Amino acid sequence: MANIVERRKINLLILGVMKKIIYFSYPAEGHVNPSIKLCKMLDQKNLKIIYYTLPDQFEKFREFKNLELRAYPHENILNKYLAEAGTMSHKFGYTQYMLFDCTRNLIEYAIDEVKKEKPQLIMNDVFAMWGKIAAKYLKIPMAIFSCVFLMDPSISKKSGNKPPISELLPLLSDWPTMLKAMRIKRKLDKKYDRLTDSPMNFLSDQGALTVVTSTKVFHPDGELFGSNVYFIGNDVSQYKTDEVTEKDIIFVSIGTMYENKTIWNKVLRSVSDFGYKIVMVAYNNNIKYIDQSLVRDKVKIYNKLSLEEYQKYIRRAKVFINHGGMNSVTMSIMYHTPMLVCPNTFERHNTGKVVEKTKCGLTFKNQNFSEEMMRNAVAELINNAEVSKGLEKISNEFLKTSNCNEVVEEILNKLC
């Protein structure tokens, strides 16, 4: 079979035929950034890639040879939802409404683009429901890229690892918005042959070739997923893991796109007596909520950090207090930095549970913690030998898993 595939590739090169992939992104930084490494490897295979995102992401792809960038229409709608990410992250119904509303606005454009370009494969971010419908509706092979944990009901059923009722109840609290979302879904289903993702399967692999930026060990029930699911870790090449850095700070970064009026002062009061410098990132308007009397000599507050600066502080941290975003969690693991996850969403709470299970840190259920809870958790993480062992084990898993070669070959096989 391998020889046949190689012959087909050679024939394509002789004929000068360039195979084409369409990539429908979900245009948030946390979804676009993890896709860059895979796209770069595909770009180097002489494949034509048409990548759909928003213009403010274009600069990241400037060195690609065969990748063409196209801007989604309805930029104002997409930016509105991206700006409201913090609000919607607490509400399952609103998240569903956002996905269905974006799909309603982008589906005709996506189908028209696919018809015009005639790609051999459509790759979709796991949130890009419009691309999934277009692929199924036009009967074109599909792949999925996920930088969040997959959530497949059939896998949960096999493992018996279902969330308790107490965790599901908050998801039902936003039922009026959920009903509005379901009305959009019904209209999409009627027009596009009932191909719209249901609320329970939009994070599943759906039997398609699926790429996940995690490892089997660091993914809930990772060993139960089929051979169509490839775990590629994270792009660990971006981490300077060979540098030895003194761990002399407590670093706090608890979310980039939402306001929280109370958490900043609570954290500062909780960690001020451990003898470490405190570095905190309070994005957007959150700085105005910080009591300046708590900002002493050993406290540094930033409104924003570059990726390089962000990594530097995680590397220096004795404890990293974060909100459970996958990129932050992976960086913490790679730099062997114990973490305390204070999640602001159900999905990030799941990430935090894996952090705790793999002994890479501790997690709270949400951000409604007391100062005493935080003080005790940080004290437990400082000089915790079990956490040090857990971080070393999982960082090695990411180093072993971080390889896109197998995925790229499988994609080439599909194209040929």
pTM of the model: 0.84
pLDDT at 84: 76
pLDDT at 219: 92
Chosen domain end from 200, 232, 264: 232
Q: At what angle do helices 405-415 and 2-15 cross, to 10 degrees?
A: 70
- On whether the CB atoms of residues 56 and 50 are closer than 8 A, the answer is no
pLDDT at 54: 97
Q: Is residue 404 part of a domain?
A: no
Quote the tokens at residue 329: 């969690």
Q: Is residue 11 part of a domain?
A: no
Helices then strands, each counted (H, E), the chain: 17, 13
**C-alpha dist (Å) from residue 133 to 124, 145, 193:** 10, 15, 9
For 413, counting Cβ atoms within 10 Å of its Cβ (0-12 exposed, 13-18 middle, 19+ buried), the class is middle
Residues 67 and 202 grouped into a single domain: yes
Q: Is residue 6 part of a domain?
A: no
Can you say how many angstroms the Cα of residue 238 is from the centroid of all Cα atoms in its chain?
16
Residues 195 and 99 grouped into a single domain: yes
Q: Residues 15-58: pLDDT tens digits? A: 346 799 999 999 998 899 999 999 999 999 989 999 999 999 99
Q: Is residue 309 part of a domain?
A: yes
Can you tell me the distance from the alpha carbon of 316 to that of 149, in angstroms, rounded to the nearest whole number? 27
The helix (H) or strand (E) run that includes residue 121 is strand 121-125
pLDDT at 4: 46
Three-class secondary structure of residue 323 per DSSP:
coil
Residues 276 and 377 grouped into a single domain: yes
Range of the domain at 294: 238-399
Q: Is residue 406 part of a domain?
A: no
pLDDT at 1: 44
Residues 44 and 145 grouped into a single domain: yes
Residues 146 and 171 grouped into a single domain: yes
Residues 134 and 249 grouped into a single domain: no
Count CB-CB contacts under 10 A for residue 92: 23
Three-class secondary structure of residue 209 per DSSP:
strand
Three-class secondary structure of residue 379 per DSSP:
helix
Residues 223 and 242 grouped into a single domain: no
Burial of 30-52, coded b for 16+ CB within 10 Å and e otherwise, reads: bbbbbbbbbbbbbbeeebbbbbb
Residues 354 and 310 grouped into a single domain: yes
Chosen domain end from 232, 247, 268: 232
Q: Which amino acid is at 116?
A: K
The helix (H) or strand (E) run that includes residue 125 is strand 121-125
CATH number at residue 268: 3.40.50.2000
**Ranges under pLDDT 70 in the chain:** 1-17, 85-91, 160-173, 236-244, 255-259, 284, 416
Residues 228 and 255 grouped into a single domain: no
Q: Is residue 414 part of a domain?
A: no
Count Cα atoms within 13 angstroms, Cβ side, for 341.
Answer: 30
**What's the CA dihedral at 257, 263, 265, 271 to 10 degrees?**
-110
**What's the CA dihedral at 125, 130, 132, 133 to 10 degrees?**
180
pLDDT at 305: 86
Residue where the block lists tokens 């279902």: 162
Q: Is residue 224 part of a domain?
A: yes
Domain count, the chain: 2
Residues 58 and 163 grouped into a single domain: yes
- On whether the CB atoms of residues 322 and 341 are closer than 8 A, the answer is yes
**C-alpha dist (Å) from residue 366 to 172, 250, 280, 342, 350:** 17, 20, 19, 6, 11
pLDDT at 235: 77
Residues in the chain: 416
Q: Residues 119-152: pLDDT tens digits? A: 999 999 999 999 999 999 999 999 999 998 998 8
Strand 361-363 to 339-341 pairing: parallel
Can you tell me the distance from the alpha carbon of 402 to that of 243, in angstroms, rounded to the nearest whole number? 19
Residues 226 and 278 grouped into a single domain: no
Q: Is residue 412 part of a domain?
A: no
- On whether the CB atoms of residues 391 and 336 are closer than 8 A, the answer is yes
Residues 83 and 228 grouped into a single domain: yes
- On whether the CB atoms of residues 294 and 271 are closer than 8 A, the answer is no
pLDDT at 386: 96
Chosen domain end from 198, 232, 266: 232
